[in-house]
Structure 1
C-alpha cells in the first residue's frame, strides 16, 4: 500500500494505492478510515477499486451501504477510482449515480478527477 498526500484548494487529500484488498467488510473499512485520519490527518481519501473486495459491488451483501454510512457518520469523504463498466447491475449503476451526486462517496474514473471532486467543496 502506498499513500501520497496532495493539496488542492488548501484541502489535503490522501491517495491510497494497493494491489491487495484493504476494505473487506465494515470493520476493515472503519479501521482503514481511522488509520488514514491518524496517519495523514486527511478526511478526504482516494482509493483504487482493487483495494476493495468484490462483495462491496454486489449490493445484495449490503456491505456498500453499511460502509458508506460509516464514512458519512465520521464525515470522511472518499472516492473510489477505477473502471466500473464491467458491472451490469442496474441497482449498482443507480447507487454509483446517486453517490456521485452526493457529497461523501464517489466512484470516479481516475485520481485527477477524484482530486478535483474532493477539493471542490
Structure 2
C-alpha cells in the first residue's frame, strides 16, 4: 500500500495549504499503473538565480528504494525536452511503496527559457 511521506525539513516548513495540496494530489495519484517510478506535478517556478524549480510528488511504486546518483532527470512539455540534468542527492532515498514531494532545481544553463513551464512532466530516467 502506497504511503505519503515528507522529508524532515519539508515536514517542519511546509505551509498548511501546501500540505493539503500535496495530500490531495497523493489521493488522486496513489494507485500505480505499474511497478515503476512516476512523478505527479505540483508546481514550477523560476527563482532569483534563474534556476527552474520543478516540484513533484515522486511515487516509488517499486519494491526497491529509489536513490539519486548521477540520475538523469528531464522535464518535458508536449514531448519536447525543456530541461535535462543529472542529479546526485545522497540524502534523498525514497523507500519502496512511498510517495514523497521534492523540488528538483535545474541550473539556468540546463533548460530552455519559456514564457510558461506549466503542464509539463518530470521523468526520472
Short-chain TM bin: under 0.3
Q: Hey, which of these two has a bigger chunk of helix by percent?
A: 1
Q: Hey, which of these two has a bigger chunk of strand by percent?
A: 2
TM (normalized to structure 2)?
Answer: 0.27
Compare relative contact order (CA 8 Å, sep 6+) and give the higher one, 1 or 2.
2
